[in-house]
Amino acid sequence: MRPWYSVTFLLLIVPFSQAIAAGLPCKISIRKRRYNLCPLFGGGSQEQASSNVYSVMRDETTPPTHTRYHYAISLSAADGVPWDNTLPADLQCPRGTWICLTVINTRPNHPSEPERILSVVPVSKGDELDPKVKLLDEEVGGNPILQLVLHGGQYMNQKQKAVFQFSCDRSELEGTIPNYLWNWNGTHTFTWASQYACPSFIDTPDDDDKKGPGDPDPDPPENPPIDEDDGESLSHGHRTEIWMWFFLCSLFTCVVL
Ligand SMILES: *[C@@H]1O[C@H](CO)[C@@H](O)[C@H](O)[C@H]1NC(C)=O
């Protein structure tokens, strides 16, 4: 009977799609700020979802070859990055991967040669996304950067994660895209400037609770190795302290004389 069939279908499908949608809430409240990132993630509508697969490229000249790092990023409550039926399964990320890195190598002097896929890295996967948000100390235009970390990928026994650093930029209206920042030790970092990363403020003075994806990330992403020549600069606090000692010592010298 058809009605019975439909009800079963709904019971199966509805919790499942909700679970996926719940994997990455796009409305985030944190430390009295409220963000609506839905337009960036795809908004949940099918139309937008299909158009919100972002391509982020990084090119490297690696003579005698050329290497392209291609990230496919799908943050909507869909099935992750699209599956390509024309490609063998081992040349693409598993189904359900939201962020997939493909490293492609070509030989510029041999344009007729087919490109070679060097590695396929699932960075974040829908079922183990475990999204974490926090506000960074770093500010852009008076607003702290909102960081979102998405987990779930694994490559060569190393866990992978994607880090998005959203900064409020009111001049970036529609159509902003993530920009590659760095990739190191399984952490793939992107910046994303958009008007949608501008917070509105919640005026409940004692409400320091945040509602949104998970808890603050307990392990902040490792930074890429620092250039050894980039010495640690003296902070403002240190400088004040030095001047204070200088002042006290001068005073003491005067008293003694
Ligand atoms: C690289 O990441 C792994 C976790 O996947 C961590 O255990 C390891 O300490 C990291 N290596 C460095 C050099 O930070």
Q: Which helix (H) or strand (E) holds 245?
A: helix 236-256
pLDDT at residue 126, rounded to an integer:
86
The per-residue DSSP string of 33-81 comes to: EEEE-HHHHTTT-HHHHHH-EEEEEEEEEETTEEEEEEEEEE-SSSSSS
How many whole angstroms from 159 Cα to the centroid of ligand 1? Answer: 9
Residues with CB under 6 A from ligand 1: 158-159, 185-186, 222
The per-residue DSSP string of 5-29 comes to: HHHHHHHHHHHHHHHHHHHS-SEEE
**Protein residue with least CA distance to atom 7, ligand 1:** 158
Atom of ligand 1 nearest to the CA of 187: 2
54: closest CA among 8, 123, 107? 123
pLDDT at residue 169, rounded to an integer:
92
What does the pLDDT profile of the chain (257 residues) look like in tens digits? 444 444 444 444 333 333 334 458 889 999 999 999 988 887 544 444 445 789 999 999 999 999 999 999 998 766 789 999 999 999 999 999 999 999 999 999 999 999 999 999 999 998 899 999 999 999 988 999 999 999 999 999 999 999 999 999 998 776 688 999 999 999 999 999 999 999 999 876 544 444 556 555 555 555 555 443 433 333 333 444 444 555 555 655 555 55
pLDDT at residue 203, rounded to an integer:
75
DSSP lists the bridge partners of residue 120 as 102
DSSP state of 255: H
- Rounded Cα distance between 125 and 143, Å, is 30
pLDDT at residue 24, rounded to an integer:
81
**Which of 154, 222, 223, 226 best tests ligand 1's pocket when mutated (most atoms within 8 Å of CB)?**
222
pLDDT at residue 117, rounded to an integer:
97
Atom of ligand 1 nearest to the CA of 158: 5
For residue 140, what are the contacts with CB-CB under 8 A and spacing of at least 6?
A: 167, 168, 169, 193
Atom of ligand 1 nearest to the CA of 185: 1
Per-domain boundaries in the chain: 27-201
- For the entire predicted model, the pTM comes to 0.73
How many whole angstroms from 220 Cα to the centroid of ligand 1? Answer: 12
What class does CATH assign to 27-201?
mainly beta
DSSP lists the bridge partners of residue 97 as 125
